[in-house]
Structure 1
Amino acid sequence: MGQDDVAVFVDRDLGGARFTRSTLAGAVMRGVEVAGLDIDAPWLADSTLVVNGVDVVPLVEAELDRRFPGRELRRATDPADLRAALAATERAWAAAVDRVRALPEGAADVSVDGEWSFAQTVRHLVFASDVWLGKAILRLPRPFHPLGQSHAEYETDGFDMSVFATGQPTFDEVLEVRAQRQAMLRDFLATATPELLAEQRPSAWWPERHVSVLHCVHVIFTEEWQHLRYALRDLDAQG
């Protein structure tokens, strides 16, 4: 649909409609009923969302920082603050794992509304660490662990999906690999300097584009907090 061919909905009932991996960027809503509207926008922090003339993004971000202590450090630049940011994510995820452990057996593998299960979400964080730490920052020759969980669409980008294991590992196996990846990041940040963080690396997905090491670390922290929010949302849905 071209810029001059904009969809217009007048006096239409879209109640209960579900939009997944869709763009509503630049959409204009006037005189709309939004009771119960549920928006999940992972990149909201870098956007604007105007409701009745008020950009609500700063309000949402402040509330998420309140709910998740340490989240406000996800874009820290000082090595000491980055270490504190990592410690905060580790505490938050440890509490989430304890919560899953307290649920009936199999809760870690429950999918809510077709989303990843808790175990799959943790596996994706293994993958994210392998992409942005193992591959992009450390430039390891074989950065990917077989238990990592990638997005299916990466296959269309020429990504070698054969590196990943088939089948369903146990939750304990997933947590063991996850702990290894957390330790890798902890060890890296333990000796990181401002000079190292400023170094440039080929981007994980676009080698022709270079990004800073600090950018890669920020991506990891963004993944940590976003997926924790998803995981807790779905645990709440389990009851």
Structure 2
Amino acid sequence: MEVRERYYRTLDSTNNEAKKQAQTHCPEGTVISAGRQTAGRGRRGHDWETPQDEAVATSMILYPDIPPEHLPGLTLLAAVAVRRAISGLYGLEGQIKWPNDVVLKNKKICGILTEMSAKDGRARYVIVGIGVNVHNRVFPEELADKATSIDLELPEGKSGDCGALRRRIWEEFVPCYETFVREQSLEFVREEYERWLVNRDREVRVLDPAGPWEGIARGIGPGGELLVETKEGLRPVDSGEVSVRGLYGYV
């Protein structure tokens, strides 16, 4: 699959633009990127605005021939790709916070939002959106102790590069995606994902709409669900509208 990037100086949301272009049947692997987002969105409806040229804001258009129930796995693959890219370019060893964040030193550096349109039980298109803090040095007060950036974690005098990071992320993602579609399984990347899973073997609180509950995260299941150990045994948690937090903070 060839990656073709369409870059915009400003967009409301790269995911929104990608959805518009997916409806015109642009080629699979088309990437929509922006130097600034004015109305970006995160998981569960959270806002995510990108200052001009300070962060990666990028979305890929996909047409996977897989059942919709397998699609949450794409979020996990994107997290692996981002972690690999940051490590490869900058030597920073991030971890993955299930299901859709990458963290450095327990602070969020990346968020992922995967959206889909389905018809007759199959995905019409899928958008994988990725945002990474690169040059950001100041965050809103409510995020100051929960967020970081490439530049804040690099030694003084060194800096990240949004364009290079975007390219490396998709270079890492595409082979994973192609394997996933072919095998329709996450088994090929499961061990790596669990190795970098920041929640693993930690007490977590699952914020389920039916009521919160607690347990110890042990890894992921075959479909990418988080496996949480409770007194009753291992309990799978699907991403959906469920949020997972550490008992004593963000992770």
Q: TM-score, normalised by structure 2?
A: 0.30
Greater length-normalized contact order (CA 8 Å, ≥ 6 residues apart): 1
Q: Which has the higher helix share?
A: 1
Q: TM-score, normalised by structure 1?
A: 0.31
Instruction: Mark the structure with the bigger radius of gyration.
Output: 1
